[in-house]
Amino acid sequence: MGIKRSNTLIACMLAASMLLAACSSSKAGGGEAKPESGGKPAEPAKTEQNGALAKYNPPITLHIARSSSQNWKYPKGDDLNNNIWTRAYEEKLGIKLALDWTAEDGSTYDQKMNVSIASGNLPDLFTVNATQLKQLADAGQLADLTEVYNKYASPLTKQNMNSDGGLGLKSATFGGKLLAIPSINANIYSPSLLWIRTDWLKKLNLPEPKTMQDVYAISEAFTNKDPDGDGKKDTIGLGLSKTLLNAGVGELNGFANAFHAYPTLWIKGSDGKITYGSIQPQMKAALAKLQDMYKSGQIDTEFGVKDTAKLGEDIASNKLGMLFGANWLPYLPLIDAVKKNPGMDWKAYAIPSVDNEPAKAGVAFPTYAYVVVRKGYEHPEAAVSMLNLYQDTRFKTPVQAVNPFETVEENGNRIETVKYAVVQSALGNDVVVKALKLLREALQKDDKSVLKDALKETDKFDPVRAFQKNGDMAYWSQGRQFNAYEVLLDNYTGDKLLTTEFGGRTQTMGEKWEALDKLEKETFTKIIMGTSSVDEFDNFVATWKKLGGDTIIKEVNDWLASQN
């Protein structure tokens, strides 16, 4: 009882404590920090020079904090502290890892990291999110990695780290100093695509969607023309999840993009300043149309309580044939439905547009985490060495088909070993687009050797080929995901992919964002359900700005200005 009570209290006080965190931690950090030895970090320790990979002799011990997951699997005898990556760090780099703590990836890790930062209890090398990075950078608790990165990063590392157009590195740079190694990924994978059940399209003799008018017609027909053929009017036109935005499955984003609206993204306004996508007039138009569709029964009246699992149930029980979602939809939730209903088939389409201007896809920031080194640590270059090792083992061409650093097979189970790496950074759009193009070319020519220069997706060739050539349903997911890849390649490269301008979290966001986010979601849900009129959107914009939105917009612009 007592414990439970204090937890509630603790949770309430978290926000307040965080306010004090910056100043209390800067004191603690300053106290612990050892004097920097003239900017020349411990070069004598390096004896062997192995290309860009240098080995410490004698080995150093690196204290780390990292996220992990209960869902991870390990080969027999291995665990988080002893696996192929930790052994490689020790054997190839002379870096012994000491794991100070770990926690479940996601909010649990973030929460524990917040406590760790606030109490001044920092490991040597650790992973943080954008908010924590800014907090630590402002408090001056991070080592400057500019010099060691320029000096030790291998050409391959530099190529891949810049393959996102330099966005990630820029977001980790404060006042001209590189304070973190961004973990970049490719947001070409992120667009919300239009997934349609193609066997219903054929059955009802409908054309593939080219414009939004086609989409409305399909939605209408799926609702009223009994596509499942059971004689009952029990189908819906467009699937929406209760999460609405960035839900992955049944999200609003793709629909909004068709109206040139970019909800939850920071976009450049007509005046060149950054502004928030959800409060633009285009969003109002998208919501107005959704309200119409809801009124005519094309959207589930219960969408406000449907999560991914429930949408999956609707799909499997032949109630739903169209929704917006990510390229991985075939894995979740479509494959379960396809297995259950022979003859069911789905395909991804590009987002049509409401007018003559083609729709762009709005996507999130392509950096998901930052690896930082505590100020005063003697070997900041260890972070770069570990990054080099990661890039070298994973992305040196020709990429190995079977790489024990990526996955191993054990008793027929596939175990992903790549997750154990401490310093990670995947590939940016440039490299991934190239790999996807090579994959397509290889499949067209039916020649696997085309893939020798691809850094990624090489493992997709065999499954997709089996699906395309032999119609092997065991590889339905891979086959249909490849179709989605093609849509991405054909429609969302270059400036058709609209990346959010800002991936961090400002101070006012820390205090107000939850409330604003809730307001946004509630207003959108109410408008779609018709309990609020469409004009309620204007009130929402005014309230949003008044409750801190204006301050946040200003902070975001200031932040971005400070990084230029």
Partner 1 sequence: MHVLSFGRRIFLTVNYTVLVLLACSCLLPFINVLATSLSSSPAVNAGEVSLWPVDFSLASYRYIVSNPAFVGSFGITLERVALGTAVNMLLTIMLAYPLSKDNRSFRLRTVYVWVFVFTILFHGGLIPWYMTIKMTHLLDTIWALILPGAVPVFNVILLLNFFRSLPKELEESSFIDGAGHWTTMWKIYVPISMPAIATILLFTMVGHWNSWFDGLILMNSPKHYPLSSYLQTVIIQMDYSQLKQEDIDLLAVISNRTTKAAQIIVGALPILIVYPFLQRYFVKGIVLGSVKE
Site residues for partner 1 per CB under 8 A: 1-7, 9-11, 13-14, 16-17, 20-21, 24, 68-71, 80, 99-104, 106-108, 111-112, 115, 118-119, 121, 185-186, 189, 243, 246-249, 307-310, 312-314, 316-317, 326, 328, 331-333, 336-337, 339-340, 364, 368, 414, 416, 418-419, 426
Q: Taking the CA atoms of 308, 287, 519 and 359 in sequence, report the sign of the dihedral they define.
A: positive
Measured from the CB atom, the residue of 67 and 525 that comes closer to partner 1 is 67
Contact present, 236 and 314 (Cβ < 8 Å): yes
Measured from the CB atom, the residue of 121 and 296 that comes closer to partner 1 is 121
Question: What's the closest the beta carbon of residue 10 comes to partner 1, in angstroms?
Answer: 5
- How many whole angstroms separate alpha carbon 450 and alpha carbon 435? 10
Measured from the CB atom, the residue of 1 and 305 that comes closer to partner 1 is 1
Measured from the CB atom, the residue of 100 and 536 that comes closer to partner 1 is 100
Here the contacts of 216-220 (C-beta below 8 Å, separation 24 or greater) are 216/289, 216/293, 218/322, 219/293, 219/298, 219/322, 220/296, 220/298
Q: At what angle do helices 429-445 and 461-470 cross, to 10 degrees?
A: 40
Measured from the CB atom, the residue of 195 and 216 that comes closer to partner 1 is 195
Q: At what angle do helices 130-138 and 2-32 cross, to 10 degrees?
A: 50
Measured from the CB atom, the residue of 114 and 523 that comes closer to partner 1 is 114
Sort 159 into a burial class: Cβ within 10 Å, 0-12 / 13-18 / 19+. middle
**Angle CA(74)–CA(77)–CA(82) in degrees, nearest 5?**
75
Question: What's the closest the beta carbon of residue 314 comes to partner 1, in angstroms?
Answer: 7
Question: What's the closest the beta carbon of residue 29 comes to partner 1, in angstroms?
Answer: 14
**Bridge partners of residue 418, in order along the sequence:** none
Measured from the CB atom, the residue of 10 and 542 that comes closer to partner 1 is 10
Question: What's the closest the beta carbon of residue 6 comes to partner 1, in angstroms?
Answer: 6
Question: What's the closest the beta carbon of residue 166 comes to partner 1, in angstroms?
Answer: 20
Residues 493-526: b if buried by 16+ CB within 10 A, e if exposed: eeeebbbbbbbbbbbbbeebbeebeebbbebbbb
Measured from the CB atom, the residue of 18 and 258 that comes closer to partner 1 is 18
Measured from the CB atom, the residue of 67 and 491 that comes closer to partner 1 is 67
Contact present, 99 and 66 (Cβ < 8 Å): yes
Question: What's the closest the beta carbon of residue 334 comes to partner 1, in angstroms?
Answer: 11
Question: What's the closest the beta carbon of residue 364 comes to partner 1, in angstroms?
Answer: 7
- How many whole angstroms separate alpha carbon 147 and alpha carbon 418? 28
Question: What's the closest the beta carbon of residue 317 comes to partner 1, in angstroms?
Answer: 6
Residue 480 C-beta-side C-alpha neighbours within 13 Å: 29
Question: What's the closest the beta carbon of residue 365 comes to partner 1, in angstroms?
Answer: 11
- Please list, in sequence order, all residues whose beta carbon lies within 8 angstroms of the beta carbon of residue 344, skipping any fewer than 6 positions away: 197, 199, 318, 337, 338
